[in-house]
Amino acid sequence: MQYTMLGNSDLKVSRVCLGTMTFGTQNSEADAHRQLDFALARGINFIDTAEMYSVPPDAGSYGKTETYIGSWLKRQARDRIVLATKISGPGRTIKWIRNGDLGLNRKNIRTALEGSLARLQTDYVDLYQLHWPDRNTPLFGQYQFDPEKERDFVPPEETLAALAELVEEGRVRYVGLSNETPWGVMQFLHQAGKHGLPRVVSVQNAYSLLNRTWEMGLAEIGFRENVGLLAYSPLAFGLLSGKYLADSQAKGRLNLFPGFAQRYSKANVQPAVAAYAELARANGLTPIQLALGFVASRRFVASTIIGATTLEQLVEDISACSTVLADGVLQQIEALHLRYSNPAP
């Protein structure tokens, strides 16, 4: 396992991160503990979760993922684990979280963190992330900014000031963003510098062979400002495994939870998936090796977040992240990227 320093923090994280959003809906507590034990044994020290999990989000599954991690974490040496979680923001219909009061202000941030710490059975988190922006911005498969949807939002400096208190209290070590745009990242960086507030060290955004939008603006910001990408959905909700090519009704999240398919139902997604699968086979690789090997090899990816519903999938995914792609394969990937440019933004 390889490790890297996350942004300008002193967090040394594994280049592979265990995503946990299946814990509580698709995975039992015992399943979750087996995955966590295996990941730790393979050198993964970085675990990502969120107060909203498990998914799909509902009142019955709310907080289960953190609870399952907490019952495991209490048996571990806490300083061996880099633990990341997220606070939910406004703009989604999740009334069971703080009665729908989700603005990223001081009251809600403190309440959310206290709940997460209790479920996780720890007195601090290493990385506390804003799950999505407070303001109006395209999310989760939307890709066009619509000024008609403008709403009031908590200013970034107010959110950072609330997070600064938690850092000073020792309950949060570092802060990060998620599902952010170039404008949003630069706003948080600017306000942190202007007011002496915590600087974000990472951004957790979708990144895969089907969605390389990070490269179109955020990559330069990440490089110049030393902000790492935590790449989620590197298999594009399982599509890049190739399993749906042979059987469109294959068991998996895409069919179990069709509400999540918005990002992956666009016109060029299926042709792109088929082309990448064929490229993999032509070069003696599995589609998973091609997809995860590509993401994990990008210089701007601090850690690749993988999630699995079975231990067998987890074994395969961890191994695939270490796949070294030949220069010729990378050139072929770029050719396909120009043909099918970001079909699932």
Secondary structure (H, E, C), the chain:
CCEEECCCCCCEEECEEEECCCECCCECHHHHHHHHHHHHHCCCCEEECCCCCCCCCCCCCCCHHHHHHHHHHCCCCHHHCEEEEEECCCCCCCCCCHHHCCCCCHHHHHHHHHHHHHHHCCCCEEEEEECCCCCCCCCECECCCCHHHCCCCCCHHHHHHHHHHHHHCCCEEEEEEECCCHHHHHHHHHHHHHHCCCCCCEEEEECECCECHHHHCHHHHHHHHCCEEEEECCCCCCHHHCHHHHCCCCCCHHHHCHHHHHHHCCCCHHHHHHHHHHHHHHCCCCHHHHHHHHHHHCCCEEEEEECCCCHHHHHHHHHHCCCCCCHHHHHHHHHHHHHCCCCCC
pLDDT beyond 90 at 3: yes
As a whole number, mean pLDDT of residues 293-308 equals 97
As a whole number, mean pLDDT of residues 35-57 equals 97
Torsions phi, psi for 299 (to 5 deg): -65, -25
* Catalytic one of 53, 128, 207, 340: 53
pLDDT category of residue 237 using cuts at 50, 70 and 90: very high
pLDDT at residue 259, rounded to an integer:
74
pLDDT category of residue 265 using cuts at 50, 70 and 90: confident
pLDDT category of residue 249 using cuts at 50, 70 and 90: confident
pLDDT category of residue 261 using cuts at 50, 70 and 90: confident
pLDDT category of residue 207 using cuts at 50, 70 and 90: very high
As a whole number, mean pLDDT of residues 114-121 equals 98
pLDDT at residue 248, rounded to an integer:
75
Torsion of CA 104, 106, 107, 111, to 10 degrees: 80
> How does strand 228-232 pair with strand 301-306?
parallel
Average pLDDT over the chain reads 95
Percent of all residues in the chain with a pLDDT value above 90, rounded to a whole number: 90
Q: What distance in Å separates the CA atoms of residue 131 and residue 166, rounded to the nearest whole number?
A: 17
- Do the beta carbons of residue 12 and residue 3 sit within 8 Å? yes
pLDDT category of residue 143 using cuts at 50, 70 and 90: confident
pLDDT beyond 80 at 260: no
Domains, the chain: 3-238+289-323 (3.20.20.100)
pLDDT at residue 253, rounded to an integer:
80
pLDDT at residue 151, rounded to an integer:
93
pLDDT at residue 106, rounded to an integer:
98
Residue whose entry in the numeric block shows the structure tokens 């000031």: 161
Q: Cα(first)–Cα(last) distance of the chain, in Å?
A: 30
Distance of alpha carbon 339 from its chain centroid, rounded? 26
53 an active-site residue? yes
pLDDT category of residue 262 using cuts at 50, 70 and 90: confident
| Number of Cα atoms under 13 Å in the Cβ half of residue 316 | 16
pLDDT at residue 140, rounded to an integer:
85
More confident residue, 262 or 245: 245
As a whole number, mean pLDDT of residues 257-283 equals 90
pLDDT at residue 194, rounded to an integer:
98
More confident residue, 308 or 143: 308
pLDDT at residue 135, rounded to an integer:
96
pLDDT beyond 80 at 243: yes
